[in-house]
Structure formats: C-alpha cells, structure tokens
Amino acid sequence: TFVVTDNCVRCKYTDCVEVCPVDCFYEGPNFLVIHPDECIDCALCEPECPANAIFSEDEVPKGQEIYIELNAELAEKWPNISAMHDPLPDAKEWDGVPNKLQYIER
C-alpha cells in the first residue's frame, strides 16, 4: 500500500487524487490519507505529489513510520475525495517544513 506522509500536512495539493484509479483517498481539514485496504499499489499517485509526500509503505522515510497507522486510522473517519481542488492557501509556505504531525486537524 502507499502512504501519505508529513509533507502533505498544511499543503494538500490533491494532484494525487486525480490519478487514483480506485478513489482510495480520504480528506481531512489539512491532510489527506490513503485507505490501506483499498489501495491497489498502482504507484500512479507517488510522482504526482508536488510535495513528494507519498511513499510505498516499505519506503516511508525514517521517523515517519507513524503515518502508516495514521493513514489506516483516518481513512476510516474522513470522507472520500475523488476530485482535485485548490491546495490550501499557504501550501507553498508549508511545503518542506519538517515535523508537521502536530498540526494535523481531525
């Protein structure tokens, strides 16, 4: 499965959503997640993310392993998103800022 990680937080570009053939992205106020049971591992979303926030489960950057569980947990709570929309207004400013876990709104 693929996992959305730290750099998506407060950016939410949503380019990833547009290419997913099974619509397995779920949307919170300032972060997106992938439902691990629905992802078919096609890898199409990974290169689409301008923030490079998507990784295969076994390639999640060191220190960001928590995001594997977080994607599974929040995908059960948040509504599905199947179409791209504008990024958050200050996405550019937050792109690349480390340790954004603390900012995730639920």
DSSP 8-state code for residue 78: S
The residue within the footprint of ligand F3S, chosen from 2, 3, 6, 12 (CB under 6 A), is 12
Residues in CB range of 97: below 8 A, 6 or more apart: 10
Residues 44-103 that bind ligand SF4 (CB under 6 A): 44-45
Q: What are the helix (H) ranges across 1-106?
A: 15-19, 66-75, 91-94
DSSP 8-state code for residue 2: E
- Shortest distance, position 37 Cβ to ligand F3S, whole Å: 19
DSSP 8-state code for residue 86: P
- Record the tokens describing residue 55, joined without a space: 């990784």
The residue within the footprint of ligand F3S, chosen from 2, 13, 26, 78 (CB under 6 A), is 13
- Contact mark string toward ligand SF4, 14..33, x via CB under 6 A: -----xx-x-x---------
- Contact mark string toward ligand F3S, 24..63, x via CB under 6 A: --------x---------------xx-x-xx---------
